[in-house]
Copies of this chain bind each other. A is one copy, B any other.
Amino acid sequence: MKQIIPPQSGVGFALRAGQRLVVTDPEGQQVADLFCFSRADPSDALSSGRSIDYNDTILFTTGHILYGQSGRGMLKIEADSLGRHDFLVTPCSQQMFTMLGAEGYHPSCLENLERSLARFGVNTNQIGTSFNIFMHVAFDEKGRIAVKPPLSRAGDQVTFLALQDLFVGLTACSDEGTNNGSCRPIHFEVVQNVPI
């Protein structure tokens, strides 16, 4: 059953090994930050550095595996209609918005991930670099990065296969700048268990 993450919010849920998570951008140009932990050992969190190292890439798409800090595979990207995501930067945060000049409170992916994952016993400092679905971070040969409008169009989707039991946090990104000016919803679906 498809579920909706309203703009600037997030959800947390358990994903069993063999289940598939399908994340859809229903309107286009909307980013979804994903972070996860091993259910068997919640100190084992998603690791961009391990994933970059073991896949020999900073751009992830179909066939790549997202690893935890321990080096155990967590999620395999089984299908990807877009092919451009980010695994370099941390979720947007109140601190980031304040640095960028926001006055007062601004919803953020970090807050939404914290809230969504809190019931699984996770603390803020464990939420590191997220896999930022549909996010377009450009980089040049000098290493400079720039956040560009997402390349996703309505209906673009990514399917992840869970390689172990996980606790997952997933957001509809709260940063207007990242999402080409306005924040929209994200759809997701957990496809029931298939033995792996």
Chain A residues packing against B (C-beta within 8 Å): 41, 43-45, 47-50, 52-54, 56-59, 69-71, 88-90, 93, 95-96, 99, 123-130, 139, 141-146
Besides A43-B123, A53-B88, A53-B89, 6 more A-B contacts (Cβ < 8 Å) are A43-B126, A47-B90, A48-B48, A48-B49, A49-B89, A50-B90
Do the beta carbons of A139 and B58 come within 8 Å of each other?
yes
Tell me the bound Cα distance from A88 to B139 in angstroms.
13
Given known contacts A43-B123, A71-B95, A123-B43, is B58 in contact with A129 (CB within 8 Å)?
no
A90 contacts across to B, CB distance below 8 A: 47, 49-50, 53, 69
Q: Per DSSP, are chain A's interface residues mostly helix, strand or loop, or mixed?
A: loop
Do the beta carbons of A43 and B125 come within 8 Å of each other?
yes
A126 contacts across to B, CB distance below 8 A: 43
Tell me the bound Cα distance from A149 to B144 in angstroms.
22
Given known contacts A52-B89, A53-B89, A143-B57, is B47 in contact with A129 (CB within 8 Å)?
yes
Tell me the bound Cα distance from A147 to B93 in angstroms.
32
Other-chain contact of A58, B41, B88, B125, B130 (Cβ < 8 Å): B88
- In the assembled complex, 10 residue pairs joining A and B whose CB atoms fall closer than 8 Å, in A order, are A43-B126, A45-B125, A47-B90, A48-B48, A48-B129, A50-B90, A53-B96, A58-B58, A71-B96, A139-B139
